[in-house]
Structure 1
Amino acid sequence: MHPPRLPRRLLLSFVSVLALASLSTGLAQGAPAPSVRPSAPSAATQPPAPAAAAAVTFSDEFDGPAGSAVDGGKWQTETGDNVNNHERQYYTAGSRNAALDGQGHLAITARRENPGNYQCWYGRCEYTSARLNTAGRFTTTYGRVEARMKIPRGQGMWPAFWMLGSDIGQVGWPASGEIDVMENVGFEPSTVHGTLHGPGYSGSGGIGAGYTLPGGQAFADAFHTFAVDWSPNAITWSVDGTVYQRRTPADLGGKQWVFNKPFFLILNLAVGGYWPGDPNGSTVFPQQLLVDYVRVRTDSGQPGGGGPITGIGGKCVDVPGANTANGTPVQLYDCNGTAAQRWSVGSDGTIRALGKCLDVASGGTADGTPVQLWDCNGTAAQQWATPEARDIVNPRADKCLDASGGSSANGTRLRIWTCTGAAHQKWTVTR
């Protein structure tokens, strides 16, 4: 089900795109900082991208003395204003608006001030804040991308954790693609949004959904973990491990899926703009986006490693007799630690054992289509998403790995079936 359309950020200007392209070789301090962002549906099914080499795992725990700048080997600091979204802040260099707090957090601070007589699109700037990115330092293609954060509160606040395609300097935005892991606008204290932007589905036409905390809780009251699980032709969003949307090319209404390539990370706290509106008399400054950590986890997908995948009744996903012949059925069986039960979840979207791939027979998409072992061939029949909700999903079919008949008996055949959330469709993947 598609979410309602949401107010969104406007396109980057071409000049801003070129400015951001310079990030791949190092952002010049003082250059205006471009910006883009989330909302709603669209999907051309394109062949899966070639298997990508595993990206280096990224982690920043933000440990260090209070007042320290972020690690320059991981993050660049953007500077300037942003006319595209009519934001009100000036993003500053240095550690005044982005610094470690000495308690294991990065604090991105928005202040009502202008100590440097900064000039913005509307005249003398009224606010300062910070925006960081990993362009030229780190990119990833697929994996689990997550951050644990405590967001600010107040009308006009606009914190975001998001990604842009690293080819933005060559193809521009939105052709580069944008993955918004988390955005919040201050007038919705209990709701965050996750969105995709691409050619033909950008700005207010982005495809996304919101997640709302129960019982009127506000995201500013505590830390929460925001994540996407990203594989070829599938992206799944979660908050604190609860999945709230999954998107595939089937959601794009024939438009191009541009998310099978490298992306870099961005953290920022904007003040004002078209979507959140400007601060008002109720807004208290300063406000902070506190980031406990940012982590990206990818797996090599190399055969011979990995671990068990367990399902209903504690049984393991198993290749009968460790047979490596194409077409060997895949089943449930008592866990025994053999190679027939060691599965590697790859950054290329495959799940492998014994040097072969988990495969949907004949590329089928119907309920009940069996899964089998087959030579890895890069087709959609061998692409799987493994979100934190513990589903194992074939995005092309938009169906879940399923134990036939809900049985946990030895020898139960595995198949794909419409996702129901039932116990016989829940799996624990050992990475």
Structure 2
Amino acid sequence: MVSTWNKLNVTYGRIEASMKLPIAKGMWPSFWMMPLEEGECYLSAGEIDIIESINDDMNSYATFHHNNNSQCERKYLVSQFNGTSVPTMNTEFHIYSVIWEPDWMVFMVDNVIFNVVNSTYPHLPIPQTGQPFYIILNTAIGGGWSGSPNETTTWPQYNYIDYSINDLALYNYVVHYYLQHPIHDHNNNVNYHWQTI
């Protein structure tokens, strides 16, 4: 596991990693962010899952979780979740990233958007606390979502990390560029513009 807790804490910007992921029953590689200070309630400051993948389904999932209840009841944990197919995730390096602003988040694979979260999404306000988050890269073996390894699981398994960055210069360039140019989805449809997120 790689954790930047108390070493690199991030509030807003572009966060990305280039990774080649393990695929097998029971594998659960993740690249995610948690608040440096949890606060009064579980996930009251949110959790940013830049990429999660399970087993061998060859999909990248990105999620923003948030507890929107002041009584801290876990049943009020809400999420915006989306996935996209990455058929070569175990044979090639891909760039998994999020751009996080106070009112929105954009999740991408290889700079192609597949999930957008904004503060107008019903019951999912992005916390406005300016809370710093730390970065985690890990591979869980087994768990409630992936299930346990079985006789089909081959060993060893590796999560290759080529690099991980929080590059404000690159982020500023990307935001400037996409303010002027439309962004295309996997089907080459123009469906998002930075200025309208």
Superposed displacement of residue 173, structure 1: 2.3
Q: How far apart are residue 206 of structure 1 and its match?
A: 1.9
Contact kept, 8 Å, 1:187 with 1:276, in 2: the verdict is no
Partner of 2:175: 386
C-alpha distance 167-220 of structure 1, shift in aligned 2 (>3 A): same
After superposition, give the CA deviation of every residue in 1:379-407 in whole Å (9 maximum; x if it has no partner). Answer: xxxxxx939xx543xxxxxxx989xxxxx
Q: Residue 291 of structure 1 corresponds to which residue in structure 2?
A: 161
**1:285 Cα deviation after fit:** 1.4
Query: What residue identity is the alignment partner of 1:289?
Result: N
Asked if the contact 2:2–2:136 (Cα under 8 Å) also holds between the matched residues in 1, the reply is: yes
Task: Choose 1 or 2 for highest CA Rg.
Answer: 1
Distance 1:426 1:183, change over 3 A: closer
Following TM superposition, by how much is the alpha carbon of 1:141 offset from its aligned partner in structure 2, in angstroms? 0.8
Cα gap change, 1:228 to 1:426, in 2 (>3 Å): closer
Identity %: 27
> 10, 32, 44: which one pairs with 1:140?
10
Within-5 A mapping of 1:338-417: 345=172, 386=175, 391-392=178-179
CA distance in 1, matches of 2:161, 2:31: 10
The alpha carbon displacement at 1:261 in A equals 2.4
> Are the equivalent residues in 1 in contact too, given 2:102–2:126 (CA < 8 A)?
no
* Cα deviation, residue 174, structure 1: 1.1
What is the aligned partner in structure 2 of residue 199 from structure 1? 67
Which of the pair has the greater relative contact order for Cα pairs under 8 Å at 6+ separation?
2
Equivalent residue of 1:193, what SS?
strand
How far off is 1:138 after superposition?
Answer: 1.1
1:177, CA displacement in angstroms? 1.0
Structure 1, residues 212-267: CA drift from partner, whole Å, max 9, x if none? Answer: 13xxx23111111100111121110110111112110111x134422642111001
Unaligned 5+ runs, structure 1: 1-130, 300-344, 347-384, 393-399, 403-419
One-letter amino acid of the counterpart of residue 182, structure 1? I
C-alpha distance after superposition, 1:393-422 (max 9, x if no partner): xxxxxxx989xxxxxxxxxxxxxxxxx839
Q: Which letter maps to 1:193? A: Y
1:135/1:264 contact within 8 Å kept: yes
Task: Give the total of aligned pairs.
Answer: 181
**Map of 1:85 onto structure 2:** none
Instruction: Determine if contact 1:199/1:256 at 8 Å carries over to the other structure.
Output: no
Write the distance in 1 (CA, Å) between the matches of 2:19 and 2:139.
Answer: 12
Report SS of the residue matched to 2:127: coil
Structure-1 separation of matches of 2:120 and 2:34: 21
2:90 is paired with a residue of what secondary structure?
A: helix
Structure 1 segment 7-406 matched on structure 2, within 5 A: 131-168=1-38, 170-188=39-57, 190-200=58-68, 205-213=78-86, 217-251=87-121, 253-258=122-127, 260-298=130-168, 345=172, 386=175, 391-392=178-179
Do the aligned partners of residues 187 and 232 (structure 1) sit closer, same or farther apart at CA in structure 2, a change above 3 Å counting?
A: same
Q: Give the TM-score, by structure 1 length.
A: 0.38
> Distance between the aligned counterparts of 2:162 and 2:141, measured in 1?
21
Counterpart of 1:179, as a letter, is I
Q: Distance in 2 between matches of 1:145 and 1:172?
A: 25
Q: For 1:294 and 1:161, locate their aligned partners in 2 and report how far apart those are by CA, in whole Å.
A: 10
Instruction: State the partner residue of 2:186.
Output: none
TM-score (norm 2): 0.80
State how far apart, in whole Å, the 1-side matches of 2:19 and 2:142 are.
Answer: 20
CA distance in 1, matches of 2:116, 2:23: 27
RMSD over aligned CA atoms reads: 3.1
Secondary structure class of the residue paired with 1:288: coil
Higher strand share: 2
**Are 1:235 and 1:247, in contact at CA under 8 Å, matched by a contact in 2?**
yes
